[in-house]
Amino acid sequence: AQTVTQSQPEMSVQEAETVTLSCTYDTSESDYYLFWYKQPPSRQMILVIRQEAYKQQNATENRFSVNFQKAAKSFSLKISDSQLGDAAMYFCAYRSYDNYGQNFVFGPGTRLSVLP
């Protein structure tokens, strides 16, 4: 079974600075997707960024980018120019093509605080 690990339960960053959240996963599959979701205090889960495993180029969405290292099974999220609104829980998630609908695995989350 696949597992997703986020080794940093909590992180903090100064406003306007850059922070990197780590995520590692374990799988024997070669084709899969990885996601980062953000959960602010409102509890709403919001998709931040996604990465297809077959793509070597790292995904970027405005201030959010990933460092995808397939061989190392690592998928870190970099937030540049951090803003107060970035404060939230961040979840890394893995999804494979097998067992449609079932195999969507989340990590335990990293709570990010942004300091003014």
Secondary structure E strands in the chain: 3-5, 10-14, 19-21, 24-26, 32-39, 46-52, 60-61, 64-69, 74-79, 88-96, 104-106, 110-115
Return the number of the residue (64 or 106) whose C-beta is nearest another protein: 106
Return the number of the residue (28 or 102) whose C-beta is nearest another protein: 102
**Residue numbers of the site for another protein (CB under 8 A)?**
4, 9, 33, 35, 37, 42-47, 50, 52, 91, 95-97, 100-102, 104, 106-109
Return the number of the residue (62 or 102) whose C-beta is nearest another protein: 102
Query: C-beta of 101: minimal distance to another protein in Å?
Result: 4
